Amino acid sequence: MTRIAVSAPATPITREQADAAQQLVADEFPEHSITFHDQCFMNAGHFAGTDIQRLEALVELANDPAFDAIWFAKGGYGSNRIAEAAVARMNHVARSKTYVGYSDIGYLLAALYRNGIGQPVHGSMPVSARSERGREALRRVLRWFSGDGSGLEPSLDGKTPAVAFNLITLAMIANTPLMPDLSGHIVMVEEVSEHIYSVDRLFFHLANVLPRVAGLRLGSVTDVPENDREFGQSVEDIAKFWCARAGIPYLGRAEIGHTPENRIVPFGLASPSTAG
């Protein structure tokens, strides 16, 4: 049994979204339990409560031996504001947990990985539970909690460490106290709601700051806004261009992104779930 706790380090979810996730677990995964912290439903402008409220909820759950895993409720901007303070307050209990999320939650996953705290995991989040396609993405994570690796990113080989990030999140983390050492890693990136020229600009930045990585894989780039002119290169052309400029091996595509097909990427070496 995996005892899952949910916090919202960035933006809030609704009680209806939480109810849908709890129902999915109860109906299909009775070997697990899921508990939502009340902080998930708070509102403070853009955020799920103030910085202090979000920080306190996350640290409380991470340090609580009653839970095996933290499943982040939702992305949306905000987790960077508390990530450094959160990891500084996590105890030995927090170091045994699994932490699952993606998108903006990449700030926290990076900080956890840098500090050797638990098992950070790129994976879909409970906010998606109200649609059937979203529920399938959550089933992928819940099966992984049960030790079923069928939802892992297919390219993971168990030999080369890997990480997965939203492109803009990784660019913002670079050269900050949140950035882990990615030397020798396969780095997977995806993006949503950015112009193609912005994708190019983000790759320009990363090509100049990434260490000697083992390679890069490109996930999906979705909901691209329409610009007043065509950029003239596809997103894969852009990835290949900047990888070639930086001497980074381009390894092809990855099945990650802001889609229901989003696959699981444990940071480091892929393995069955370490939770439970």
Looking at this protein, which amino acid is placed at residue 115?
Answer: N
What pTM value is reported for the model? 0.96
Residue 151 DSSP SS3: helix
pLDDT of residue 271: 63
Residue 184 contacts by C-beta under 8 Å, 6 or more apart in sequence? 160, 161, 212, 213, 214
Residue 70 DSSP SS3: strand
How many DSSP H helices and E strands does the chain contain?
8, 10
pLDDT of residue 272: 56
Query: Can 3-151 and 162-253 be said to share one CATH topology?
Result: no
The yes or no reply on domain 162-253 and CATH 3.30.499.10 is no
C-alpha distances in Å from residue 2, one per residue of 15, 24, 30, 57, 91: 22, 15, 10, 20, 20
Ordered mean pLDDT values, 10 residues apiece, the chain (276 residues): 97 98 98 98 98 98 98 97 98 98 98 98 96 95 97 96 98 97 98 96 95 96 94 97 97 97 95 54
Which is nearest to 34 in space by CA: 126, 107, 123, 114? 126
Distance in angstroms (rounded) separating the CA atoms of residues 99 and 112: 9
How is the chain split into domains, by residue range? 3-151, 162-253
Q: What is the CATH number of domain 3-151?
A: 3.40.50.10740
Residue 8 DSSP SS3: coil
pLDDT of residue 105: 98
With beta carbons less than 8 A apart as the criterion, state whether 187 and 210 touch: yes
pLDDT of residue 211: 87
